[in-house]
């Protein structure tokens, strides 16, 4: 009986004939094209990736410190995390500011000297209004009634200043692993568009952080001027230079040997050991002989730092008593074995 094809087999055969009779394999999905950020050679970057990576780690530390402060002030669990650390021009930051935006102006205090270029901090309105609502006894759930064009009142600005003073005061802690510095609170600027805080074309590094409460989210943006960062990085490099030189010196075999050659080392030679009564020791006089019960060719042990390193034979060299080295105990276990044998 001839074999009867199923409908699926018939469809597969027709498709094969329509495709030229070839068993074409299905095309593999092409991997999405990898996107690269365009580099403007006419406007080269001022800070390397390593510098930006360092800043990212520093402000991750700051986010943890800030998280603790916010939790304590708001008496509510929140999360603060760094989203981006990128280099921009200041006009990119300034153009994003709206009318009525409040900026915190602070100044770097490095080695007791305050820098003139300000460090700017922007805290989004929902986050700050929620914080102020919690400080005054509310639950911080402000998203339902907060308008987009909310304007801070005089009382709000007083609470705002109290909060940002605390945030600025702990910013220097995140730099402790690199260099001791502080950030001093300057003032609150309620209309930054009318004040030339930083040159529009000046290079800045923008640090964006996200703050999340159970019922509200907000952002914190910190604008670090390139001039200020250059001073910080220069101070860090100067502080690291002596440590690098010390490491190189310590790793130089020639320098290590020179230091060892100039060192003094006390070597003790032990003829033998015996036990005497205190009365016998008390009656010893010049010329008395103590029997050590040792043969003439018995080895003499040489100790360094309380440990036995050599043994040898007593002799004379240039009319002086000397010890001729016979064996060196390089192995610590061997030195301990000899100690036990004695």
Dihedral of alpha carbons 230, 233, 239, 240, sign:
negative
| pLDDT score of 118 more than 60 | yes
Residues 68 and 158 in one domain: yes
| pLDDT score of 23 more than 60 | no
- Tokens read off for 296: 């003439």
Q: What pLDDT score does 60 carry?
A: 92
Q: What pLDDT score does 335 carry?
A: 52
Pairing status of strand 203-212 against strand 79-89: antiparallel
Between 82 and 136, the higher pLDDT residue: 82
| pLDDT score of 24 more than 60 | no
Residues 281 and 306 in one domain: yes
User: Which domain covers residue 240, as residue numbers?
Assistant: 49-143+150-248
- Within a domain: 4: no
- Within a domain: 118: yes
| Adjacency order of strands within the sheet including 181-189 | 79-89, 203-212, 217-225, 113-123, 103-110, 181-189
- Within a domain: 7: no
Residues 139 and 190 in one domain: yes
Residue ending a domain, choose from 187, 214, 248: 248
Pairing status of strand 217-225 against strand 307-317: unpaired
Which CATH number does the domain housing residue 291 bear?
A: 2.30.330.10
Residues 223 and 271 in one domain: no
Which range of 109-113, 169-173, 238-242, 300-304 scores highest in mean pLDDT? It is: 169-173
Which CATH number does the domain housing residue 168 bear?
A: 3.40.1550.10
Please, what is the average pLDDT of the chain?
A: 79
Residues 212 and 154 in one domain: yes
Confidence of residue 28 (pLDDT cuts 50, 70, 90): low
Residues 305 and 235 in one domain: no
Contact call for residues 107 and 115 (beta carbons, < 8 A)? yes
Q: How many residues does the chain have?
A: 342
Residues 172 and 120 in one domain: yes
Report the run of H or E that residue 64 belongs to, with start and end.
Answer: helix 49-74
Contact call for residues 119 and 130 (beta carbons, < 8 A)? no
Q: What pLDDT score does 1 carry?
A: 43
Q: What pLDDT score does 207 carry?
A: 92
Residues 216 and 244 in one domain: yes
Count up the domains in the chain and report the number: 2
Measure the CA–CA gap between 211 and 217, rounded to whole angstroms.
6
User: Average pLDDT in the 268-281 region?
Assistant: 83
Residue ending a domain, choose from 217, 248, 279: 248
- Within a domain: 287: yes
| pLDDT score of 18 more than 60 | yes
Residues 237 and 273 in one domain: no
| Total-model pTM | 0.59
- Within a domain: 27: no
- Within a domain: 79: yes
| pLDDT score of 26 more than 70 | no
Q: What pLDDT score does 75 carry?
A: 80
Contact call for residues 164 and 121 (beta carbons, < 8 A)? yes
Residues 102 and 226 in one domain: yes
Which residues, in sequence order, are bridge partners of residue 4? none
Q: How many CA atoms lie within 13 A of 9 on its CB side?
A: 4
Residues 94 and 65 in one domain: yes
Residues 162 and 284 in one domain: no
Contact call for residues 222 and 120 (beta carbons, < 8 A)? yes
User: Average pLDDT in the 260-285 region?
Assistant: 82
């Amino acid at each position: 009986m001839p074999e009867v094809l199923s409908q699926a087999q018939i469809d597969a055969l027709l498709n094969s004939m329509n495709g030229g009779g070839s068993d074409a394999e299905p095309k593999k999905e092409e991997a999405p094209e990898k996107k690269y950020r365009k580099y403007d050679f006419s406007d080269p970057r001022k800070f390397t990736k390593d510098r930006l990576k360092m800043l990212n780690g520093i402000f991750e530390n700051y986010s943890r410190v800030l998280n603790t402060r916010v939790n304590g002030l708001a008496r509510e669990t929140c999360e603060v995390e760094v989203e981006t650390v990128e280099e921009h021009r200041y006009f990119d930051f300034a153009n994003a500011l709206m009318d009525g935006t409040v900026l915190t102006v602070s100044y770097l205090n490095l080695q007791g000297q305050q820098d003139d270029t300000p460090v700017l901090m922007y805290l989004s309105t929902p986050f700050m209004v929620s914080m102020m609502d919690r400080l005054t006894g509310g639950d911080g759930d402000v998203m339902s009634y907060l308008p987009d064009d909310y304007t801070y009142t005089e009382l709000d600005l007083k609470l705002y200043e109290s909060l940002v003073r605390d945030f600025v005061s702990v910013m220097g802690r995140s730099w402790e692993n690199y260099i001791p510095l502080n950030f001093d609170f300057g003032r609150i600027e309620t209309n930054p568009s009318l004040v030339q805080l930083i040159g529009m074309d000046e290079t800045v590094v923008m640090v964006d952080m996200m703050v999340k409460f159970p019922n509200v989210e907000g952002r914190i943006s910190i604008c670090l001027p390139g001039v200020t960062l250059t001073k910080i990085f220069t101070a860090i490099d100067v502080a690291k230079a002596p440590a690098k030189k010390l490491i190189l010196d310590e790793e130089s075999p020639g320098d290590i040997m020179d230091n060892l050659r100039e060192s003094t080392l006390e070597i003790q030679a032990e003829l033998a050991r015996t036990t005497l009564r205190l009365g016998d020791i008390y009656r010893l006089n010049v010329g008395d002989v103590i029997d050590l019960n040792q043969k003439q060719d018995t080895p003499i042990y040489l100790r360094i730092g309380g440990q036995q390193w050599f043994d040898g034979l007593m002799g004379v060299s240039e009319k002086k008593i000397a010890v001729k080295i016979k064996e060196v105990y390089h192995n610590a276990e061997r030195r301990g074995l000899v100690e036990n044998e004695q």
